[in-house]
Structure 1
């Protein structure tokens, strides 16, 4: 397993990779890095694939553009297109988790000639809403349900990243704890916040790291986010309405390539993204497997690496 930098058209991207053979891109989410895929890189390389996990735009060792509008989904998909070409390939399978799942779905949706299959973890495909930008819809839904603000709505504020930057170690420890499958239900985050409460403040101060996360592994995350900050990762959320405005051409489009989806049974993200799971087959005609992993939380590829590896390899063998 090696780290190197790959210069693409617009970015210098840091990647973690291993193996030779057909290309697989592994796309991480928030607040993660390429290192979240170590167990998958090892298993996929051993199975005869070239497994490549980039630090995504704004994260880790990859460039971090200053403009907020540089973190829209068209840019994120474009980065993956550029990376495939820079690696000397003309096709690959894309795998994503969390925000990386959204990127992976859109890679397959926009460039099926290049991304010939897609597997996603934790976040189902969410088609473009025809009735207006998503942040207004989120706010209206939360208000009707009386649940408080969804954290994604709070992330739209210009200073939302400051709560994370103030103490990256505590913020990361709390996030990994609150969305983990081993965390008791009463200590998991629901994603909904009381007035004046930040996501970080909503999680108990004594939250320990999850059982699977060693001190050394957490320290890798802390070092990367202490150096790079959380401004750019939260700009991904701040581009949600921009994404809606720029993707009218994708309205009612379906993913036509072979696909697979896995979610943890106890993933708190299902509180707000879960309703999209039921309709996935309508939007992805060749959805070959859709699986709920009992007891697992959100950090599924790190919590349950053996089962995720088996899931991915079964899907890849069937292509």
Structure 2
């Protein structure tokens, strides 16, 4: 099912703001950074290009800068590509309502589309960013033109697997560990070696460049960010106590009526690709599901050009 593409050009290190990014030999000056107010937060964003809006939403343990290779390529294809930080991923970015649930991040996505002055956006979400994209599409599909999910499927299959699938329970050990008070200390030890162990396990054979690893460490070293990132997982297995948030979570988990594409790496060490089987039942306007061979969890970095080709083909349909 996957499109076979030649390997991307050799990487080189460039600088975006104060962080180093491994980028293919494309003009780093195409990437701009600023802040934008939405849903009570002042979101840092990276952006490139002009044209139809494509919002790229990162996951864990990751940050918006990992989208830079794709932002530049999307810009060259005629899109306005924007990668915001998820709530909690910067100093001063703590959730105003204390919520790091899917519905809250979905509301952020819809507010960002409005604040950016767009009527609609294409959403490209990876990992927790995919969760945010699904929630936004479920809450208000009129604001979403098309939806692309990467590495985290939608629907009840994944939630069931946390309780009933031994293989997925082993893969998801870190989620259960994050419920303990030991998590913060363990993650920070030896220059965040814990996080980079996850990267190695989830994307076998892929190695972050040293400059990218340093930039990722700096994200989680910021005051408050690690605890806020862990809150996504600490709220994952318990229902919200606020009735309003309970209702919103229900709305954010409905069927999705947006034309959608789903990409998953066959070698993903975080979430088994087979858990995406049957998720098409949750998509009432069509879902194309592609399992990419030889790719792990961070597929947008491992095979940026192949992922881009799938996205562009889908957007032009």
| TM-score in terms of structure 1 length | 0.79
Select between 303-312 and 237-246 the one with higher mean Cα deviation. Answer: 237-246
1:194 alignment counterpart = none
Distance 2:279 2:169 in 1: 27
1:64 alignment counterpart = 94
User: Is 1:278 the counterpart of 2:277 in the alignment?
Assistant: yes
| TM-score in terms of structure 2 length | 0.80
Between Structure 1 and Structure 2, how many residues are aligned? 281
1:174 alignment counterpart = 197
1:111 alignment counterpart = 140
Distance 1:13 1:145 in 2: 33
Q: Structure 1 pair 164/92, CA: closer, same or farther in 2 (3 Å)?
A: same
Distance 2:118 2:68 in 1: 22
Distance 1:316 1:143 in 2: 37
Secondary structure of 1:70 counterpart = coil
Secondary structure of 2:148 counterpart = strand
Question: Structure 1: where are the runs of 5+ without partners?
Answer: 183-209
Distance 2:198 2:313 in 1: 30
Q: Structure 1 pair 92/144, CA: closer, same or farther in 2 (3 Å)?
A: closer
Distance 1:291 1:39 in 2: 21
- Kindly indicate whether the alpha-carbon contact (under 8 Å) linking 1:96 and 1:119 is maintained by their aligned counterparts in 2: yes
Distance 1:20 1:297 in 2: 31
Q: What pairs with 1:85-96 in structure 2 (closer than 5 Å)?
A: 85-96=114-125
**Equivalent of residue 11 in structure 1, options 17, 41, 47:** 41
Distance 2:232 2:62 in 1: 13
Q: How much has 1:153 moved relative to structure 2?
A: 2.4
Q: What pairs with 1:248-263 in structure 2 (closer than 5 Å)?
A: 249-250=250-251, 253-263=254-264
Deviations 1:91-123 (A, max 9, x none): 111110011111111111111011121001111
Select between 234-243 and 99-108 the one with higher mean Cα deviation. Answer: 234-243
The runs of at least 4 consecutive aligned structure 1 residues that moved more than 4 Å come to 137-140, 142-149, 243-248
Question: Structure 2: where are the runs of 5+ without partners?
Answer: 1-30
Select between 56-65 and 304-313 the one with higher mean Cα deviation. Answer: 56-65
Q: How much has 1:312 moved relative to structure 2?
A: 0.8
Distance 1:86 1:173 in 2: 34
Secondary structure of 2:87 counterpart = coil
Q: Structure 1 pair 19/148, CA: closer, same or farther in 2 (3 Å)?
A: closer
